[in-house]
Structures are given as C-alpha cells and as structure tokens.
Structure 1
Amino acid sequence: MTSTNDQRISCHPGFKVLLLPYESKGNHEFSMHIYLPDERDGLQALVREISSSGTAEFLDRCVPTRHVAVRNLRIPKFQVSSKIDARDVLKGLGLELPFHFTYDWSEMIEFSEPAPPVAVQNVLHECVVEVNEDGTMAAAATEADLMMGFSITAEEEPAAHVDFMADHPSLFLIREDKSGIVLFTGQVVNPLL
C-alpha cells in the first residue's frame, strides 16, 4: 500500500502511528492503527513501553487526530491468521458454568421437555487480518460446540511532512473507535515492501 495523500499520522518520541479508518455502517466505527518505531530494531522497546504505561491510556493518547502531509507512505502486504481452542483461556478468565452439565441453557436454547443435559465441549476462535494494495480486511469467528452436537456461532505535534515507511518491524491493532476496545492486535516482524 502506497500513498502521497494526507494521512492521519501522529509523531511521538521514538515512534509514529498511522490510523486507517474502515468504512462503517451503523453505530460502530473501526480503524487500524499501525505503530512504527523510529529505530529498525525498536519494536520490542515499543511493546514494553505500551505494556508498562497503562495500555488503554497509552493507546488513547497516541490516536492520530489530524491529517498531515505525507511525502512517502509505504505499508507492506501481510496476512496474519490465528486459530485457537479458547476453552482453557475462557476457563482461566473464570468462565466455568457453561462447561458443566448443570448450566441452565433455557434462555438460549429451546428444548422439548425434559431438557437434556448440555455442556460446552470446546470453543474454537479464528481470526484473520490482511493488508494489501486494496486496503485492509479483518474478520473473526467463534464457534462453541455443545456436547449434544449443537453449534452456537456465536494530542500530537504537527508535522510539515511525514514519511511512514513500514520497512521494518511494526505493531498493528484494530479498534472500535468510540469505546476504544481493541479487537485485533499483532506484529509484522519481517515486512517485505
């Protein structure tokens, strides 16, 4: 992806942030944020800075708020995907009841009387993020399999001109803009421009 058009970029000590908004319908607005360290080997230091300084506050503080003139913008094509069994993750977060036959599913599933015992067997989560010359795309799906065989598918400094050359490792995330909730995050460690 290349551009010389004005872009929403904020410049901070040691890194820059590019905001790429998604076309949105309805009440939600989403955008991809690419965090590019100034140093070619600065990604781990940037990740440590984000992690140690209150992540939500840090991300809110770094959101680009205005368009700046761009001399050269280059973002590599990449695709990141992940597929995990989220059962242990959910249990680790304290979600236990759906995994036991004693959980009451009557508000979600209609059973003929008497209701059979049902429990969640596994929870599969898959996500993909792709960036190419046409733009960006992100998608995720979660499926919970019940033991009976059902599936539930469940303020930056102004800059005159900025270069944003993502030719070294960077961090990306996709946020819902109003709430600030991060939906996807990842690192591009071997970019090919």
Structure 2
Amino acid sequence: MTSGKRQRISSHPGFKVLQLPYDSGRVGGRHSFSMQIYLPDERDRLQALIHELSSDTAGFLNRSAPAQEVEVGDFKVPKFKVSRKVEASDLLKDMGLERPFCFSHDFTEMVDYSEPLAVRSVLHECVVEVDEDGTMAAAATEADIMTGCSIGWEEPARVDFVADHPLLFLIREDESGIVLFAGQVVNPEL
C-alpha cells in the first residue's frame, strides 16, 4: 500500500513510528482508535525494539507516538494478516488469576448450575488483517468449564517509511492509550 499524502510519522534513534488513525465515527461518541507501526531502521533490530518497549511500555508508547503529520517521500506499508490461537490458562494463573480454576460456586451469576464449577482451560484467538480497505481486528476467548469436586487438578522533514522488513504493530484506544491488539510481521510482502 502506498500514499503520497502527509502522514503521522515520528523518527527516533533506531526506529520510526507511523500512526494510522481510524475513521471510527467515535464509536458511541467516546472512543477513537489508531494503528501504530514501529519500524526499526535496521532489519535485524525488531527484538531489540520490543525489548526497549517492554521495559517501560506506557512511557515508551507515549514518548514515541507521532505528534504531527509530515511530508512523506517513499511510503510503503505491506498488506498483512496475523492470527494467533493460544491456550491461556497458565498465563492467566501467572498473572494471579487463580479462583476461576478452583471448584467453587462463584459462577452462579454467569450460569444456571448449582454444583461446583471450575475453569479447565481458556482458549484465546485473535486476528488482525490490514489491506488497502482498512483493518479488520477481532478476538474471542472461550473457557472450558468442568463440574465436580476438587481433587487437586492444575493447568521531520520528508520521512521515508518503507516497511519491507520485520515490524511491530499496535492497535490502541487513543485517549487512554490502552493496547487492544499487538503483533509482529516478520516477513512483510510489499
């Protein structure tokens, strides 16, 4: 995908950031969203950029976000589709979420079942597709529930932006800065 229009791009030592705002019509009058593409200057520096971002996520994202539109020279962004399916039980437990995985009666407001229940597994899937028509992003989470009793079970100037090498992308809610989707494109095809 190419464009000759001014773009929201910021240049930093070792990387550039392109911000593509979505024409969301301010969903419900409250939210606006944008995609940010983080492009390292060097082809083999994506992991270093991700490491830098993860050391101070909110601060890094806020400092690197483009503040204004700039004239672009060479501008190319690949079309891509990224999907991921992951079993997330261990990740949720590592984050401190333990109670749903233990048999209890805590699910009575969610399901009409009076016996003890526990979450056996959590499957999360997300898809992000970017092309000249825009972005489609979707996510779904499914929990497998088991019944029974507990038995100890566990689970500047003109800026070129040519994204022809590995990049990181984020979809964020602009006001709060909350990241809704994040992913890497390792083999972009322009």
Assess if the C-alpha contact under 8 Å between 2:7 and 2:71 holds in 1: yes
How far the C-alpha of 1:144 sits from its partner, in A, is: 1.5
What residue identity is the alignment partner of 1:83?
K
| 1:34-73 to 2 correspondences below 5 Å | 34-52=37-55, 54-73=56-75
Residue 107 (structure 2) aligned to one of 105, 108, 116: 105
Assess if the C-alpha contact under 8 Å between 1:97 and 1:103 holds in 2: no
Q: Deviations over 1:102-144 (max 9, x none)?
A: 2422333344xxx122222221100011112222221111111
How far the C-alpha of 1:71 sits from its partner, in A, is: 2.0
Q: Which residue of 1 aligns with 2:176?
A: 179
Against the structure 1 CA distance between its residues 118 and 51, is the aligned structure 2 distance closer, same or farther, given a 3 Å change threshold? Answer: closer
Q: Which residues of structure 2 form unaligned runs of 5+?
A: 148-155
What residue identity is the alignment partner of 2:39?
L
Residue 187 (structure 2) aligned to one of 184, 187, 190: 190
Q: Deviations over 1:22-70 (max 9, x none)?
A: 2321222221110111223222332232233x12101111111211111
Query: Which stretch shows the higher mean deviation, 37-46 or 168-177?
Result: 37-46
How far the C-alpha of 1:16 sits from its partner, in A, is: 0.8
TM (norm. structure 2) is 0.86
Q: Which residue of 1 aligns with 2:80?
A: 78
Against the structure 1 CA distance between its residues 142 and 76, is the aligned structure 2 distance closer, same or farther, given a 3 Å change threshold? Answer: same
* Aligned Cα root-mean-square deviation (Å): 1.6
Q: How many residues matched? A: 179
State whether structure 2 residue 111 is matched by structure 1 residue 129: no
CA–CA separation in structure 1 for the residues paired with 2:158 and 2:48: 25
CA–CA separation in structure 2 for the residues paired with 1:124 and 1:15: 34
What residue identity is the alignment partner of 2:90?
D
Q: What is the SS of the residue equivalent to 1:178?
A: coil
CA–CA separation in structure 2 for the residues paired with 1:162 and 1:142: 40
How far the C-alpha of 1:160 sits from its partner, in A, is: 2.2
State whether structure 2 residue 2 is matched by structure 1 residue 2: yes
Assess if the C-alpha contact under 8 Å between 1:128 and 1:140 holds in 2: yes
Q: What is the SS of the residue equivalent to 2:109?
A: coil
Query: Which stretch shows the higher mean deviation, 126-135 or 100-109?
Result: 100-109
Assess if the C-alpha contact under 8 Å between 2:105 and 2:115 holds in 1: no
TM (norm. structure 1) is 0.85
CA–CA separation in structure 2 for the residues paired with 1:92 and 1:51: 17
